[in-house]
């Protein structure tokens, strides 16, 4: 029996619709496994601009810092597209990541057997499903390195510098090995060590960290090969750990092989164990308010929260199994609908998953 305080940033568009279902699922887990989840709803994104004139009010950040974890829906939408600079709704995400010190982004790419027809890969490649977790470094590397213009050999040139410190590599590697211990105990570290000095350093430090995890198998892979292997033989991967830029590209590639944006959760973690959990999709303004959004990505985000922040593996498994069983029973929201299946709305899908939790 435990108590957890969760800050809920429902946000805009379909954000509130999908987080409502995620909260219902957590409440069901609370009832069944005797935990208490306290939800503190806070404002961020477009709705916060409307209400208090700021995309990330100081009070919101304060409440999120105090919480054991943050559940986020999505922010943004056409209504705020003309807002300029620091007050764009999406800036709230950056402010939250920075304010909460979240440097590790975890994005699973999972293909459920029941949905294998949505996957663009051949069935003999996907087999009985795929389950990869990409751990991307989020606050360092070339996106945050020195950048600018200078006079070069051929006149003016622009540059961006990729730099990683030992501390940055060590902490993200530790995250990857920790989550691998909760999964199939295999880590693939992706770099470009045949060309880049920063990658050679990355490889050295990751190899050192691996020594603290004798149960976890580590292999190294060049990023060009990794991009190819993800479509050639994705089943070989369990956890992939990589830099900011490589992770940005590979996580999009991996999510595309699963076929639907409405199914994929994500987690951003920092040093404290608290994290921010959110679906990878946006606020989907085209379908907002129609009760047709797929709540599964938001619901699976709560499973990640239980597993990675609260160490409640059994409870997380119960959510994942309930999602699988509802999909196997033939229920679909419109985004994943196929012939012969039963179409259900956001609320109904949430209810079916709650009812299936054991
Ligand atoms: P989007 O992910 O919102 O939508 C892309 C397409 O996928 C749309 O057709 C949408 O209907 C569909 N879709 C998305 N989620 C779905 C779900 N759960 N169920 C069924 N269909 C779903 O991306 P976009 O259209 O590029 O962005 C819309 C707004 O969201 C923009 O303002 C963007 O800046 C913002 N955004 C926010 C986040 C975030 O909060 N993390 C992420 C991406 C985009």
Left if phi > 0, otherwise alpha if psi is -120 to 50, otherwise beta: which for 20?
A: alpha
Report pLDDT for 70: 98
Report pLDDT for 175: 94
Residue whose CA is at the smallest distance from ligand 1 atom 27: 282
Q: Among 263, 280, 283, which residue has the most ligand 1 atoms within 8 Å of its CB, making it the best to mutate?
A: 283
Q: At what angle do helices 15-33 and 313-328 cross, to 10 degrees?
A: 120
Residues with CB under 6 A from ligand 1: 14, 18, 74-77, 90, 93, 261-262, 278, 281-287, 293-294, 297, 335
Report pLDDT for 154: 97
Left if phi > 0, otherwise alpha if psi is -120 to 50, otherwise beta: which for 176?
A: alpha
Q: Among 19, 284, 344, which residue has the most ligand 1 atoms within 8 Å of its CB, making it the best to mutate?
A: 284
Report pLDDT for 1: 73
Residues found in the chain: 358
**CA dihedral over 177, 179, 181, 187, signed as positive or negative:** negative
**CA dihedral over 67, 281, 314, 330, signed as positive or negative:** positive
What spacing in Å lies between the alpha carbon of 282 and ligand 1's midpoint? Answer: 3
Q: How many CA atoms lie within 13 A of 125 on its CB side?
A: 15
The number of the ligand 1 atom at minimal distance from the alpha carbon of 74 is: 40
Select from 213, 231, 219 the least CA-distant residue to 190.
219
Residue whose CA is at the smallest distance from ligand 1 atom 10: 284
Residue whose CA is at the smallest distance from ligand 1 atom 20: 293
What spacing in Å lies between the alpha carbon of 169 and ligand 1's midpoint? Answer: 31
Q: Which residue has the tokens 């304060």?
A: 62
Distance CA 356, CA 351 (A): 9
Report pLDDT for 119: 85
The number of the ligand 1 atom at minimal distance from the alpha carbon of 279 is: 41
The pTM assigned to this predicted structure is: 0.91
Residue whose CA is at the smallest distance from ligand 1 atom 38: 282
**CA dihedral over 293, 296, 300, 302, signed as positive or negative:** positive
Report pLDDT for 120: 87
Residue 202: CB atoms within 10 Å: 30
Distance CA 301, CA 193 (A): 33
Q: Among 281, 285, 287, 301, which residue has the most ligand 1 atoms within 8 Å of its CB, making it the best to mutate?
A: 281
The catalytic site residues sit at: 143, 192, 224, 248, 252
What spacing in Å lies between the alpha carbon of 206 and ligand 1's midpoint? Answer: 34
**pLDDT tens, N- to C-terminus, the chain (358 residues):** 789 999 999 999 999 999 999 999 999 999 999 999 999 999 999 999 999 999 999 999 999 999 999 999 999 999 998 887 677 888 899 899 989 999 999 999 988 888 887 788 998 898 888 899 999 999 999 988 999 999 999 999 999 999 999 999 999 999 999 999 989 999 999 999 999 999 999 999 999 999 999 999 999 999 999 999 999 999 999 999 999 999 999 998 988 888 778 899 999 999 887 899 999 999 999 999 999 999 999 999 999 999 999 999 999 999 999 999 999 999 999 999 888 999 999 999 999 999 999 9
Residue 219: CB atoms within 10 Å: 12
């Amino acid at each position: 029996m435990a108590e957890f305080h969760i800050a809920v940033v429902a946000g805009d568009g379909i954000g509130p619709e999908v987080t409502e279902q995620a909260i219902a699922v957590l409440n069901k887990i609370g009832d069944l496994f005797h935990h208490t989840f306290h939800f503190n709803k806070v404002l961020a994104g477009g709705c916060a601009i409307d209400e208090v004139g700021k995309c990330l009010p100081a009070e919101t950040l304060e409440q999120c810092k105090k919480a054991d974890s943050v559940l986020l829906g999505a922010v943004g939408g056409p209504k705020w597209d003309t807002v300029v600079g620091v007050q764009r709704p999406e800036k709230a995400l950056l402010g939250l990541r920075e304010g909460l010190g979240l440097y590790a982004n975890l994005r699973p790419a999972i293909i459920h057997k029941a949905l294998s027809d949505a996957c663009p890969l051949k069935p003999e490649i996907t087999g009985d499903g795929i389950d990869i977790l990409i751990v991307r470094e989020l606050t360092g590397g070339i996106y945050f390195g020195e950048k600018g213009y200078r006079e070069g050999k051929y006149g003016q040139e622009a540059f961006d510098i990729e730099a990683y410190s030992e501390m940055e590599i060590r902490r993200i590697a530790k995250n990857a090995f920790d989550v691998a211990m909760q999964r199939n105990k295999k880590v693939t570290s992706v770099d470009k060590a045949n060309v880049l000095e920063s990658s050679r350093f990355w490889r050295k430090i990751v190899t050192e960290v691996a020594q603290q995890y004798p149960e976890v198998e580590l292999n190294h892979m060049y990023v060009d090969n990794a991009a190819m292997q993800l479509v050639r033989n994705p089943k070989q991967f369990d956890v992939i750990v990589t830099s900011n830029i490589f992770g940005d590209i590979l996580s999009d590639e991996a999510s595309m092989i699963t076929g639907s944006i409405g199914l994929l959760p994500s987690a951003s973690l920092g040093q404290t164990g608290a994290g921010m959990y959110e679906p990878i999709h946006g606020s989907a303004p085209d379908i907002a308010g129609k009760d047709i959004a797929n709540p599964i990505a938001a619901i699976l985000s709560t499973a990640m929260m239980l597993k990675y922040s609260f160490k409640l593996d059994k409870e997380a498994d119960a959510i994942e199994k309930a999602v699988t069983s509802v999909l196997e029973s033939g229920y679909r929201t419109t985004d994943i609908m196929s012939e012969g299946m039963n179409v259900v709305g956001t609320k109904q899908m949430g209810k079916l998953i709650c009812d299936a939790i054991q």
